[in-house]
Amino acid sequence: MISISSPRAPITGSVQQWARPYRVITSRKQQPNDAQAAHVPKADTVQGVHGAGGYLHRMKLPGFRPQFKFESDLKGTGITDRITELLGQENPRGLWLKNAHYHILLSFPRRSAEAWTPQMDINFEELPNDRTLVRCLIGPAPSIWMLFAAGYIGFTLLSLTGITLGAAQLMLHQTPWGLYAVPGMLLCMACMIYLERTGRERALDDMRFLKEFVDQALGCDCLKLAEEQAL
C-alpha cells in the first residue's frame, strides 16, 4: 500500500499560483525515520515509489502573465545557443525562436496557434558578479492582453460615469437613467473575466510545455531555482 503526506511550503511572488502542495510518496515497508524526515526539501517534491525523485511543479491556474526570474552562470548567448540547439534536435511542436540579442521569444507556430496560445519571453541582464539575471514571462500575445486591459479600464470608467451621473440625477429628482447602464457594464466585465479564465485554462498545457522545454535546454528546473533564489 502507499501512504501520502501533504505538507505545504510557503511560496512567494507570482510563482505561488504555479505550484501545488508537494507529496512525498514512500512504501510502508520503508518508512523514513525522523532524521530523514527532517531533511525533506522545502519545495514541491514528488518522489516515486522506486526512489526516483525530482521537482515537478504542476501548475494550477497561473496569473494572466506569470513571470519569474533567476540567476545563471551561463551568459545570455550561451542560454540562447542551448535553446537553439534543442530546437534543432527535439522540437515536436515546431516552436519558433526570435532572437534579439538580450531578448528572445519562444512561440508556437502560427498555423496551430489560437488567440490564447502563450509565448515565452526571456530577457537577459549581465550582472557585476559575472552571472546573468534571466527574466521569464509566459503569456498570450501582447495584442490579446492589451485588449483585455483596455476592456477592463473602459468598462470600469463607464460604470463609474453611470454611477456618478445617476447619483446627480437622483439629487436633482430626475430619472436616474445613468444608473441603468451600470448592470450592463458589470455584465460585460463578468463576461471578460470568464473569457480570460477560460483562455488561461486552455493555455495551461502550452504554458507548461514552454517551461519544461526551457528547463530541458538549460538542464535545471528554472521555476524551482527562482523560488530558491527569491530575487
In this structure, the answer to whether residues 30 and 76 fall within a common structural domain is no
Asked whether the CA dihedral 195, 17, 105, 92 is positive or negative, the reply is negative
Section 21-49 average pLDDT: 37
Q: What whole-number percentage of the chain has pLDDT above 70?
A: 72
Residue 40 lies in a domain: yes
> Same domain for 84 and 50?
no
Same domain, 50 and 125: no
Q: Is residue 10 part of a domain?
A: yes
| Nearest alpha-carbon partner for 138 in 64, 224, 48, 52 | 64
One domain for residues 119 and 211: yes
Pair 41, 101 in one domain: no
61 within some domain = no
List Cβ neighbours of 136 (8 Å cut-off, separation of 6 or more). 67, 68, 69, 120, 121, 122, 211, 214, 222, 226
Range of the domain at 151: 144-197
> Has residue 110 been placed in a domain?
yes
User: Is the predicted pLDDT of residue 49 greater than 50, yes or no?
Assistant: no
pLDDT at 21 over 90: no
Identify which of 26-35, 43-52, 189-198 has the greatest average pLDDT: 189-198
Q: pLDDT tens, 92-104?
A: 888 999 888 788 9
pLDDT of residue 16: 41
- Number of structural domains in the chain: 3
Q: Identify whether residues 213 and 107 lie together within a single domain.
A: yes
SS3 content of the chain, % helix, strand, coil (to 5): 50, 20, 35
20 lies in the same domain as 72: no
Whether residue 184 is found in the same domain as residue 222:
no
| Residue 39 confidence (pLDDT) above 50 | no
In a domain, 62, yes or no: no
What per-residue confidence (pLDDT) applies to 122? 92
Contacts of 164 (CB under 8 A, 6+ apart): 178
pLDDT in tens, 105-116: 999 988 877 888
Residues 6+ apart with CB under 8 A from 27: 2, 49
- Specify whether 212 is located in the same domain as 132: yes
pTM of the model: 0.63
